[in-house]
Structure 1
Amino acid sequence: MAAIRCGQTIRDYDELGIRAARVATGLAEHGVRASDRVAIYLHNDIPFVEASIGAAILGAIPVPVNWHWKGAELSYLLDDSDSRVIFAHSDLVPIAESVADERPLIEVGHDAAPPTGRHRAYEDWLAAHEPWSRPPMRAPQSMIYTSGTTGRPKGIVRAATTPEQSRAGAGLLYETFGLAPGMRTLVPAPIYHTAPNVHCLASATSGIDLTIMPKFDPEDMLRLIEAHQIDHFQAVPTMFVRLLQLPEEVRARYDLSSLKTIVHAAAPCPPEIKRRVIDWLGPIVREYYGGSETGGCVACDSHEWLAHPGTVGRPITDADVRIHSDTGELLPTGTSGRVYLRPPTGWSNFTYHGNPDKRAAMERDGYLDIGDIGYLDADGYLYLNDRSTDMIISGGVNIYPAEIEACILDLPGVRDVAVFGIPDPDLGESIAAHVEATGLTADDIRNHVRANLAGYKVPKIVVFDNNLPREDTGKLFKRKIRAQYN
């Protein structure tokens, strides 16, 4: 029987539904109504799913909170979203209550800390409420805050969908994620982020057998795949790197033959890393590309990718891609420019909470600019060069850090890398590389780049850094590293 499990906890979907309905009643007694927001400041856990579904039953909007956030970051989100209630794990309660003001706080037990006893305990709170018995409201999707790689996070708000739109959206999700009813799926990434959140909640509300990892660990992931006969999971490229770094004898220890589909997104995957995953697990790797704002707009399977190495795919259903110059001209095949996406019609429209002007500024004739640079090939496949904010202009030449990062990652001993531009009095910008590695020197890094790329792409500055500020989804906060050079 399909179920949801996380750590040592497992629930069938009948029990999950009853608990979510109790959440709805409890929230209603706290005064939560349709369109109100509810903050979910939790690690990966089944109560995250219960609270999200329970809020949606009322037509309220769950607001997943990055549990790394503290102080001013958390205060900003709570105030900006005007969240009415906070769910927080015990280890996060001291942080949450420091900025909660008068908001009710529901404390969820967690192995990382004993209960504080200062707030209503989640299990007691659930038991005190009968399941919601009235018809569920038509609810918007979760209000996800972008990760803020280039500035302050923005809340993405979507309109509630009709049943027909919901069915169309579910079909798009299945197509994008390579997911299907009857599958056994695994969520290894933090579900406060868009793709894992959508993957997790869509699976739960569809009754798909669902395993949530409390925290990503490469060998534990292999163990779970074997133990639960997982046939689908969604990952980010940094997870592929960590899996491939396991000794070959460790990877061979687990039976992974149940896997049918692996899907990845969120950050560029170095081509050599993807090729090694396909060689290891077979041509079952699917990729999609889009943004929190647009949803998945392009996709490709392993066979398409092997025929078009480096692509992120071509448009799905009735989505479309255009490439424009900075001055607005439509660019021809093979020419790099700003990527504009037209989402599939089944994906609901959005705005930025409290900032409709920013939403309007990113649109051109129904196409949306989410900040990437890339080009289309003759077959309509999209290739990404980099984020527009990350592009380096050195001596008048456009340099894309992602290409250099992929080159450096191919060097044995390198675990992670960030390449970015720093001020240069002669060239405008020069190239810096912060590298997480063992047994290498700065000259090893430079010589490897020089042997594989043009000389002007060799980093001027190489710093070995074991604390690169990377999100669990693979997104790198380069602005935090770059700030020390300004």
Structure 2
Amino acid sequence: MIDPEAMSSISAVARSAAQRAPDKICNRFEGRDTTFKDFDRHVDQVAHGLDAGAAKVVAYLGKNCDHVFEIFIGATRVGGMFAPLNWRLAPAEIIEILRQYPPQMLFFGPEFSEAIKEISAALPDIQILAMEEGDGPWETYEAWRDAQSSEPAADRASTHDPAMVLFTSGTTGVPKAVLLSHSNLLQPKLDSLAVKHIYDHWDDEDIGFVAMPLAHIGGIGFWTIAFVNCCTSVILREFDPVAALDAIHTERVSKLFVVPAALQIVIQHPEAKRVDFSCVKTVMYGAAPMPLPLLKEAIEVVGCQFIQCYGMTETTGTIAILPPEDHVPEGSERMRSAGRPAMGCEIAIFDPNGKPVKAGEIGEVAVRAPANMLGYWKNPEATTKTLRDDGWLLSGDAGYLDEDGYLFIHDRIKDMIISGGENVYPAEVESALYAHPSISEAAVIGVPDPKWGEAVRAVVTLKPNATLDEKEVLAWMRGKLAAFKCPKAIDVIDVMPRNASGKLLKRDLRAPYWEGRERQVN
């Protein structure tokens, strides 16, 4: 349960948890259990080590690991900040990020020793430590940590100081470094205490499941929720359906955050039939809506509460919630939505001039909330474009609010297709395609067209053993949408391209059609 008195900083939360529940398991990772008391002691050791190395800006390149959280909280204890890096990026991309955000100390996971050689050669001033034994000259994390004093370190963290740096997905170019403060991380949890929704409440015996990448808010943010509630986290190095099912069955995991694609893999795995899901209370999901057929199957298999969370890195995660009562097996209009504003959040829809629009009108989604980022690291121009002086953060998403305040997301503003002068929002077309019995996933993109400027094109994956007749599907679509919104052609692929957080990479789908063109509009 949350201790409101300890919510001045994430470092203070660690100290409080060690005193309230010293022998309770904080992290469980690959057979290694760490109690809250030992976790806080390790945080002190990390803090002393960082102080000795004059390191206040710390980064990590690697897959999920329990030790990463000691580094995270240790960096904040010395008044510094922590940046987890997306391990799926190429070394050249990592180097570019680290040139923008140069840490004094970089830790890396065992799978990345070759990449670290290239990074070290390009950035020789960064002190590098290995998380585990391996090839190379680097000192290991445990050896370095355990050489430090375990005396309580002074907590130099302040509520509004930056605590974490997360990097945007990079779907629009070089990732931007998002500065998140202690208050950004903690205030939404305090706000949730005021409403006491059953689905938002954590009991002392609850166990969280951390399998999403820590370089994304859905991974490290979900761990933070469990940590603030003084609950155990079961951590996977990376998402694996068999390991996920084993954790649910043997560790009795009760709270999960997943992307719908990962949930689909888990519940459709043959081993799912032999797993006892009775321990699972809540499945939170984000990055994409839950298709109705998948929800029905998930309710049948897991039988728990489902919550859709809409948010972004710049808002420290969730700003809108679709609660369990709006998830109904028969489907509803509200299930197409991202839900209503989370506690403490205001959501508005702005026109291109930055003025609010009426209910039902499409515009840019904006949010004003205590979890809005401090800004982008050393990028005042991008900060000004995204974060207005009046506190509204412009999301880049197109959507509308209905009369009841439910938020409906159409697309990224940049993903809108203009065909023959008509605006086409791909999400509307994708929603119609999802209803076809042969289609598992659908993505709609704009491709160059000499007559209309851009033409609507669909890319789909099929359900097992299904086939697709393109002419039949196109005719079927014309009975559901205006002709200008309907795809002119359909491509069938095996797997949709996604980034580490599960977001669909439409740029990869568009790339072959726009190759050789200077502009991505026609």
TM-score, with length taken from structure 1: 0.89
Kindly indicate whether residue 396 of structure 2 is the aligned counterpart of residue 368 of structure 1. Answer: no
Name the SS for the 2:108 alignment partner. Answer: strand
Counterpart for residue 313 of structure 1 = 339
Q: Residues 302 and 170 of structure 1: is their aligned pair in 2 closer, same or farther, counting only changes over 3 Å? A: closer
* Pair 1:134–1:45, CA change in 2 (3 A): closer
SS of equivalent to 2:237: coil
In the superposition, relative to structure 1, how do residues 349 and 67 fare at CA in structure 2: closer, same or farther (>3 Å)? closer
- Per the alignment, residue 237 of structure 1 pairs with 260
The answer to whether the 8 Å contact 1:5/1:46 transfers is yes
Structure-2 change in CA distance of 1:313 and 1:354 (3 Å): same
Which residue number in structure 1 is paired with residue 496 of structure 2?
A: 468
Q: Distance in 1 between matches of 2:154 and 2:372?
A: 23
Residue from 394, 404, 417 that aligns with 1:392:
417
Q: Is the 8 A contact 2:208 2:223 kept in 1?
A: no
CA contact (8 A) 2:306 2:327 kept: no
Match of 2:84 in 1: 64
How far apart in 2 are the matches of 1:272 and 1:460?
Answer: 26
Aligned-partner SS, 1:120: coil
SS at match of 1:143: strand
Is the contact made by 2:46 and 2:70 (CA closer than 8 Å) also made in structure 1?
Answer: yes
Per-residue deviation, residues 440-460 of structure 1 (Å, max 9, x unmatched)? 346165455446544444433
Shift of residue 305 of structure 1? 4.5
Percentage of pairs with the same residue: 28
Superposed CA deviations along residues 235-258 of structure 1, whole A, max 9, x for unmatched, are 1121233234335xx433111111
User: Gaps spanning 5+ residues in structure 1: where?
Assistant: none
Partner SS for 1:256: coil
Amino acid of the residue matched to residue 344 of structure 2?
Answer: D
Cα distance, 1:41 vs. partner?
0.6
> 1:356-411: CA deviations, max 9, x gaps?
22222224543221111111111111111111111112122222222333444455
From 127, 140, 143, the counterpart of 2:146:
127
Q: How does 1:73-472 map to 2 (within 5 A)?
A: 73-100=93-120, 101-109=124-132, 115-131=134-150, 133-138=152-157, 140-161=162-183, 168-172=187-191, 178-182=200-204, 183-204=206-227, 206-247=229-270, 250-282=271-303, 284-295=305-316, 296-306=318-328, 308-343=334-369, 345=370, 347=371, 349-364=373-388, 365-411=390-436, 414-437=439-462, 439-441=466-468, 443=470, 446=474, 449-450=477-478, 452-466=480-494, 468-472=496-500
Change (3 A) 1:404 1:271: farther
CA gap 1:92/1:320 in 2 versus in 1, 3 angstroms: same
1:44 is displaced (CA, Å) by: 0.7
CA distance in 1, matches of 2:263, 2:92: 33
Superposition deviation, residue 191 in structure 1: 1.2
8 Å contact kept, 2:25–2:33:
no
Aligned to 2:33: 10
How far apart, in 2, do the equivalents of 1:452 and 1:187 lie? 40
Map Cα deviations across residues 71-93 of structure 1 (whole Å, 9 max, x no partner). 22101111111111110012212
The superposition leaves residues 2-39 of structure 1 with CA deviations (integer Å, 9 ceiling, x where unpaired) of 3311233222222222222222222222221xxx3111
Query: C-alpha offsets along residues 275-333 of structure 1, whole Å, 9 cap, x if unaligned?
Result: 44345434611122222112322213121344623121112333211112223342211
Give the secondary-structure state (helix, strand or coil) at the position aligned to 2:414.
coil
Which deviates further from its counterpart, 235-244 or 410-419? Answer: 410-419
Q: Output the amino acid matched with 1:43.
A: K
Is the Cα–Cα contact under 8 Å of residues 297 and 342 in structure 1 kept in the other structure? no
Aligned length: 472
Shift of 1:64: 0.6
CA contact (8 A) 1:431 1:460 kept: yes
* Equivalent residue number for residue 44 of structure 1: 64
The secondary structure found in structure 1 opposite 2:314 is coil
Alpha carbons of structure 1 residues 205 and 94: separation in structure 2 relative to 1, 3 Å? farther
Q: Would the aligned equivalents of 1:271 and 1:406 in 2 still touch at CA under 8 Å?
A: no
Contact persistence 1:149–1:479 (CA under 8 A): yes
The two structures have a TM-score, normalised by structure 2, of: 0.83
**1:479 pairs with 2:501:** no
Q: CA deviation at 1:475?
A: 0.9
Q: Is the 8 A contact 1:24 1:58 kept in 2?
A: yes
Residue deviations 1:40-62 (CA, integer Å, cap 9, x gap): 11201111112112212211111
Over the aligned positions, Cα root-mean-square deviation in angstroms equals 2.6
Contact 2:386 2:395 in 1 (8 A): yes
Given that 1:97 and 1:105 are in contact with CA atoms closer than 8 Å, whether structure 2 keeps it comes out as: no
Looking at structure 1, the residues matched to 366 and 293 of structure 2 have their Cα atoms a distance apart, in angstroms, of: 27
Distance 1:348 1:400 in 2: 26
Q: 3-state SS of the aligned residue for 1:51? A: helix
Q: Point out the more displaced range, 262-271 or 229-238.
A: 262-271
Give the Cα–Cα distance (whole angstroms) in 2 for the partners of residues 19 and 79 of structure 1.
29
Aligned AA (2:323): D
